[in-house]
């Protein structure tokens, strides 16, 4: 019974882990800043999914645990602002490099 109940936890938790692993590999593999921003975001998605699986595991009275959900919601908003900031910095960086090359 327990094993059956927890199977969404294991499936989505494992996917979260896999995404973290893939994200780490991609982050180190790429040398261009834009691809690294993408990798960092995908990695974050894996972490969020891991937390979501924990929320599902802690389900009580038919609904998932609100604490990890709240964490993930704030995390998503922080990560979009971090992404936008990273893009602004990357744009600046590229303009500098272009300026020096010309």
Tokens of 71: 């964490």
CB of 100 to other proteins, least distance (A): 13
Gap between the Cα atoms of 50 and 71, Å rounded: 12
- DSSP bridge partners of 60: 63
CB of 14 to other proteins, least distance (A): 6
Kindly report the CA angle at 67 between 41 and 65, in degrees rounded to 5? 105
Residue span 27-66 as binding mask against other proteins, x where in contact by CB under 8 A, dash where not: -xxxxxxxx--xx-xx--x--xxx-xxxxxxxxxxxxxxx
81 binding other proteins? (CB under 8 A): yes
CB of 22 to other proteins, least distance (A): 6
Gap between the Cα atoms of 49 and 54, Å rounded: 9
How many residues sit in the footprint of other proteins (CB under 8 A)?
A: 79
């Amino acid at each position: 019974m327990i094993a059956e109940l927890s199977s969404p936890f294991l499936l989505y938790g494992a996917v979260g882990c896999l995404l973290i692993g893939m994200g780490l590999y991609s982050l180190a593999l790429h040398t261009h800043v834009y691809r690294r921003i993408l990798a960092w975001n995908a990695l974050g998605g894996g972490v969020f999914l891991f937390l979501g699986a924990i929320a599902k595991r802690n389900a009580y009275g038919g609904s998932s645990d609100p604490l990890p959900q709240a964490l993930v919601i704030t995390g998503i908003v922080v990560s979009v602002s971090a992404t936008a900031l990273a893009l602004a910095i990357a744009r600046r960086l590229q303009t500098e490099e272009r300026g020096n090359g010309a």
